[in-house]
Structure 1
């Protein structure tokens, strides 16, 4: 039976994640959205060459490669948290400094195609993980970065974080 994940209530995640969760449509299954985002990102960046992917839209902002690597890194962190919470972990998990991760990612030394391949593999792997969950564990609550969040909330944060960065790519990086 296919897993259905209802949208989390506002009490299931820190308020700082509301901008992400609010970007996930309520009338679509979040796992389907996560799957569709792979194609959306690949199509969005299909005509971008490596030189263009190493440009930022403003001084001090990440390049396209760094932004996509940030999406991968963030998803890995959130998915690890999801795994921990699904398995009943009670320890508080650490936060992460996304700017430090981007600075040390070496994304601009890589081919965009390789980064996109990595992105697709990470997402597909996480979809397999999420689809393995029983409905009951979606209510599991864990602590990450000293804040409580449900497993359901984490999955929605991943989808909303992705939507947020897809919008930034469209509006700031690839604006014609």
Structure 2
């Protein structure tokens, strides 16, 4: 893909932490690397551990993995629409409503992990297929302007953010 890091002004300020968390280097390599990182983390969990919540009212690890899949699909759909030049404003989404409706705890860790891998693989395929000019297309999501170039960085940064949360809040309590 060879994308350059998006500049402030290409994305809503709320995405700045995700852009920053995407890391340095080629974004497609970071996205691919995360596939192994997420797999290694979740494949080692028992079903009981997958249902673990570090505090009352917090998502379980299964909920969190389902959230990664849902967000990945939404971000990638936005990239498809914007990258193809569709200027139709796109709505935001309520992650809490999605989490309740998904009922992730009813699924196995293995199934949720396979779903996330499928979502990330589809994202990578789309990102690799977009022509160079598509990355500069601008669209609107949740009432704010964004370029297609930002979205692979948001996907990587969003996943990195949640991996940090898992390592800092979930894993220490599981030991």
Tell me the TM-score normalised to structure 1 length: 0.96
Give the secondary-structure state (helix, strand or coil) at the position aligned to 1:104.
helix
The equivalent residue for 2:147 is 150
Q: Alpha carbon RMSD of aligned pairs, Å?
A: 0.8
- Unmatched tracts of structure 2, length 5 or more: none
| Alignment length (residue pairs) | 173
Give the secondary-structure state (helix, strand or coil) at the position aligned to 1:148.
strand
Deviations 1:98-135 (A, max 9, x none): 01000111100000000000111111111011000111
Deviations 1:63-100 (A, max 9, x none): 00000100100010000000000111111011100010
Instruction: Tell me if 1:96 matches 2:90.
Output: no
The equivalent residue for 1:45 is 42
Q: What is the rounded CA distance, in whole Å, between the counterparts of 1:8 and 1:109 in structure 2?
A: 38
Report the Cα offset of residue 46 of structure 1: 2.4
Q: How is 1:161-176 mapped onto 2 (pairs within 5 angstroms)?
A: 161-175=158-172, 176=175
Q: What is the rounded CA distance, in whole Å, between the counterparts of 2:143 and 2:95 in structure 1?
A: 16
Tell me the TM-score normalised to structure 2 length: 0.96
The equivalent residue for 1:62 is 59
- Unmatched tracts of structure 1, length 5 or more: none
Give the secondary-structure state (helix, strand or coil) at the position aligned to 2:21.
coil
Contact 2:89 2:142 (8 Å CA) reproduced: yes
Q: What is the rounded CA distance, in whole Å, between the counterparts of 2:138 and 2:14 in structure 1?
A: 17
Q: What is the rounded CA distance, in whole Å, between the counterparts of 1:106 and 1:40 in structure 2?
A: 24
Contact 2:11 2:150 (8 Å CA) reproduced: yes
Q: What is the rounded CA distance, in whole Å, between the counterparts of 2:111 and 2:32 in structure 1?
A: 19
The equivalent residue for 1:79 is 76
